[in-house]
Structure 1
Amino acid sequence: MAPRANWKGFLKIAEVTCPVALYTAASTSERISFHTINRATGNRVKRQFVDSETGKPVAAEDQTKGYEAHKGDYIILSDEEIAATVPDSDKTLAVSEFVECANIDTLFLDKPYYLAPADKAAGETFALIREGLRKKNVAAIASTVLFRRLRRLLIRPAGSGLIATTLNFDYEIRSEQQNFSTMGNKAIEPEMLDLAKHIIKTKAGQFDAAKFDDRYEAALAELVKAKLEGRKIKPAGKRPEAKVIDLMAALRESAAQAGGGRKKPAASRRKAG
């Protein structure tokens, strides 16, 4: 069954226009999900909106949106007022600029989509755009109204198609200083750095997402299967608590295991600060 497009429109670069379609590239729909069940009856539980003060149910026609201006004080917004703020869409992915792939900060990458020709007639134009991006090793920055919001997208070649990734806005990215301000610059002993570099070198590999196991999802699947078959599952044991050890000793131990070499004598254990 052919995938269903999330969006259809036109990719526009200067005077070149190509009919395209966006398809979901990453989804959580395959994950195991649960419903809330009434333990006594075995029936599903439905959610109901109630007034936070009176506790009485609120009918759908009496519900509206509100912005909390002050604690407990809300500005009421009607559906019509909110709808009026949605920008008009001309269904065009308008490219504004090209950026070198090496200069893309992955912190701004949001949700990926496959971008493909909308029909067979668009194949040649699509291939021209794709190969142009590939030869110049650049990505295109485009904008369009996507799901009622004006979004910026990063478009880059991938195989025989393109990947269009929505971008976070600058105000959505939290400042790194909020998390790193207390780090400071600590001097690293040369031997420590050499051992760390050795470990990294011996563990070098290629990125392959197929190697990543979702152990929690697998455990949930096994649990559901066991329940269906009437089996009992032994609960997983607790992981041993991490011990505070000397950093140099840990590096030497890791380097010896990674490189298969002889272990150097461990340095004296330091007191945890």
Structure 2
Amino acid sequence: MHTIWKGSISFGLVNIPIKLHAATEDKDIKLRNLHKECHSPIKYEKVCPVCEVEIKNEDIVKAYEYTKGKFVVLDDEELESLKKEKEDKAVEIIDFIKMEQIDPIFYNRSYFMSPSEGGGKAYSLLRKALGESEKVGLAKIIIRSKEQLAVIRVYENTLVMETLHFPDEVRSAGDVPNVPQEEKVSEKELSTAILLIDQLTNDFEPDKYTDDYRTALLELIESKRTGKEIVTPNEKEKKSNVTDLMAALQASIDRTKPKGTTAKKKKATAKKKKEA
């Protein structure tokens, strides 16, 4: 499993050297965009709209647009310096809390945590302590140049780090349009709705839920592939070397002709016309 971060987690005087591994994977089916006429994959180029030229990565700088059309440019050195100043690989658990106090809207991504060399015992201690106390650890960590609030908890005998959105990253529910205020609901309507909920209530068994759209799309792709409904991009037409060579030879011959030859031919042609 690929390691995306190395460092340590500490609580009190206990320090645990750990590695982070992505706990989830994106299984979306990636579809390419092709040119309808020749089925060639479409390229997306970085082009400056003013200079009308393609831009290379080394010609790009980062900037913050503080108002429409006005930017503050930030050098790579400045960003790197700020990152190093804030990026402490020893991440301290700052609080222990009950997990049910965190609304699911705050959750972002999940990472498995594994102990680095020499960290097995401390890892086991934290895992057992979290399980016995039925609490989770709250910490801050910088991953890929972004500071994250994170929860450390136990999942199937493995420590998991769940990154959280900061409060100012969660939009206000009060800004959602057309949400109805409290309306009168009859007792009969309410009791019928609750009865329906009770009848549909089950234990959560994640294995029984599947991505039906992805399955259907894969079946469609496979049926087209086996039915030979496939397309290949047209190859870019290449210039004929023979034509180019002949043109170059003719141009060379014309260039090396004596200057008087053309004039003599014209005089001879004119003379023949007069005699005729």
- TM-score of the two chains, using structure 1 as the length reference: 0.76
Matches within 5 A, 1:1-273: 3-28=1-26, 30-86=27-83, 87-119=85-117, 121-179=118-176, 182-230=179-227
Question: Could you list the per-position Cα deviations for residues 55-114 of structure 1 after superposition, in whole angstroms to 9, with x for gaps in the alignment?
Answer: 332233322223223323333332223323324433122100100122121111110111
* Range with greater deviation from structure 2 (82-91 or 182-191): 82-91
Task: Figure out how many residues of one structure are paired with residues of the other and give that number.
Answer: 228
Cα distance in 2 for residues equivalent to 1:101 and 1:22: 21
Cα distance in 1 for residues equivalent to 2:110 and 2:222: 32
Q: Tell me how far 1:6 sits from its aligned partner.
A: 1.4
* Range with greater deviation from structure 2 (78-87 or 191-200): 78-87
The one-letter amino acid of 1:186's match is: E
The one-letter amino acid of 2:25's match is: S
Q: Tell me how far 1:225 sits from its aligned partner.
A: 0.7
Q: Tell me how far 1:231 sits from its aligned partner.
A: 6.4
Q: Tell me how far 1:54 sits from its aligned partner.
A: 4.4
Question: Could you list the per-position Cα deviations for residues 164-212 of structure 1 after superposition, in whole angstroms to 9, with x for gaps in the alignment?
Answer: 1011011100001112774211121111111111111111101122222
The one-letter amino acid of 1:79's match is: D
Which one has the largest radius of gyration?
2
Cα distance in 2 for residues equivalent to 1:225 and 1:156: 41
Secondary structure at 1:133 match in 2: helix
The one-letter amino acid of 2:31's match is: F
- TM-score of the two chains, using structure 2 as the length reference: 0.76
Identity of matched residues, %:
25
Structure 2: give runs of 5+ residues left out of the alignment. Answer: 230-276
Q: Tell me how far 1:115 sits from its aligned partner.
A: 1.4
Secondary structure at 1:191 match in 2: helix
Secondary structure at 1:12 match in 2: strand
Give the aligned partner of residue 239 of structure 1. Answer: none
The one-letter amino acid of 2:20's match is: L
| RMSD of aligned Cα (Å) | 2.1
Secondary structure at 1:84 match in 2: helix
Cα distance in 2 for residues equivalent to 1:69 and 1:102: 38
Secondary structure at 2:176 match in 1: helix
Cα distance in 2 for residues equivalent to 1:59 and 1:139: 46
Cα distance in 2 for residues equivalent to 1:151 and 1:114: 16
The one-letter amino acid of 2:9's match is: L
The one-letter amino acid of 1:210's match is: D
**When you count helix as a share of all residues, which structure comes out higher?**
2
Question: Could you list the per-position Cα deviations for residues 101-159 of structure 1 after superposition, in whole angstroms to 9, with x for gaps in the alignment?
Answer: 2212111111011112223x422221111111111111000122221222221011112
Secondary structure at 1:85 match in 2: helix
Cα distance in 2 for residues equivalent to 1:191 and 1:175: 33
Cα distance in 2 for residues equivalent to 1:218 and 1:144: 37
Cα distance in 2 for residues equivalent to 1:182 and 1:144: 36
Give the aligned partner of residue 262 of structure 2. Answer: none
The one-letter amino acid of 1:17's match is: N
Indicate how the Cα distance of structure 1 residues 80 and 229 shifts in structure 2: closer, same or farther if over 3 A, else same. Answer: same
Cα distance in 2 for residues equivalent to 1:144 and 1:105: 20
Cα distance in 2 for residues equivalent to 1:60 and 1:118: 36
Structure 1: give runs of 5+ residues left out of the alignment. Answer: 233-273
The one-letter amino acid of 2:107's match is: L
